[in-house]
Every structure is written in structure tokens, then in C-alpha cells.
Amino acid sequence: MMELFVFVVAAAMVLGGAAGVILRSHPVHAALSLVLTLFGVAVLFVAQEANFLAAVQVIVYAGAIVVLFLFVIMLLGVDKVEDLQIEPFKIQRPAAVAVGAGLLSMLALAIIVSRDAKPPTVARSEAVQAALDGSHDSNIRAIARDVFSDHVVAFELTSVLLVIAVIATVLLARKPRRGETT
């Protein structure tokens, strides 16, 4: 009962926010609709017992990424209303909706056909298995064991990726000095 109520409310938030992103003509309104969607997804994460990732979702996505979007919108002064009447190609929108409907029906078919699928057997290290067998409030512990034992190389590589991204952004956003070619 409660689960159904939470799911329906969160699903309405997610879909309403997504509709806002693709339908609002003002970029700031679209960014705020995106916040609604991200919060709805965070609620669904909690409902699916992913407490740590729900917190990360709110902090990183709703906190950092949307603020970055709003910052760029305000900074560049692109917060102008986009004219949604302009359609570059004649049949672009009907074609997009048709492609979307086809994709959705294929995905829904695949989901419904495979709804009784058995879980694959995965080789897991003993520490992760021990954390999984523990109580429900060990979500963070289980993720930490998994990330830092089974996927530690990937974790280190993401730190390299982040450093590369930061340096690249500084290079991209910097104004070239006089007499210097970009």
C-alpha cells in the first residue's frame, strides 16, 4: 500500500519533470524541471534500498550538476525563451515521436517478456558476500566492499578520468592570451 503510494508519487515527479525538460521553452525552467526528475529518481532509489546512492544522487546531481547548468545559463546570458515553433526539418517532430514510440514499445516488450528471468550467477569475493548477507542498514558497507575490493582498478581509473576532465575544462574555458593561438 505504502510502497504503491511512494511509487506513484515518485513516478509522477519523474515523468512530469522529464516532460518539463523537453517542453519548457525557457532553459531555466527546464533546469528546474530536471531537479524534479532527479529528486523523483532519488526517492525511487530509497524505495529500492539504495540509500547511499540516493544521497549521492541528491548531492551530486541535484546539488552540483544542476547548479552548474544554471550557472552556465546565467553566465552566458542564454536564458532567452527559445522559439519552439521553429522546426528545422518539416517532419522532425512527428518522426521523433514515432521513433520514441517504437523504442518504448520494443523496450516494454522486452521487459514484459523477460519478467521471470532468473538471476545470473556472479562470482563475488567473500567480503562482499559477507556484507550482502548482513543486515539491511549495511548498504554503504556493501558498496564500499564491492568498490574497493572487486572494482578497485576501475575506481582508481575514475580518479584519473576526473583529473583529465578538470584539466581539459580549464584549457577549454580559458581565454587565450594575446599573441597565443588556441
Partner 1 sequence: MTAFTAAVTVTTTWYLLLSAMLFVMGVIGVMVRRNPLILFMCIELMLNAVNLTFIALARRFGDIGGQSTVFFVMVVAAAEIVVGLGIIVAILRRRPGATTDDLAALKG
Q: Does 60 bind partner 1 (CB under 8 A)?
A: yes
Nearest distance from C-beta of residue 26 to partner 1, angstroms:
10
Nearest distance from C-beta of residue 172 to partner 1, angstroms:
4
Q: Does 30 bind partner 1 (CB under 8 A)?
A: yes
> How big is the chain by its Cα radius of gyration, in Å?
22
Nearest distance from C-beta of residue 90 to partner 1, angstroms:
14
Q: Does 52 bind partner 1 (CB under 8 A)?
A: yes
Q: Does 32 bind partner 1 (CB under 8 A)?
A: no
Query: Binding marks (x or -) toward partner 1, 89..108, rule CB under 8 A?
Result: ---xx-xxx-xxx-xx--xx
Contact 139, 49 (CB under 8 A): yes
Among 85, 135, 136, 172, binds partner 1 (CB under 8 A): 172
Q: Does 44 bind partner 1 (CB under 8 A)?
A: yes
Q: Does 120 bind partner 1 (CB under 8 A)?
A: yes
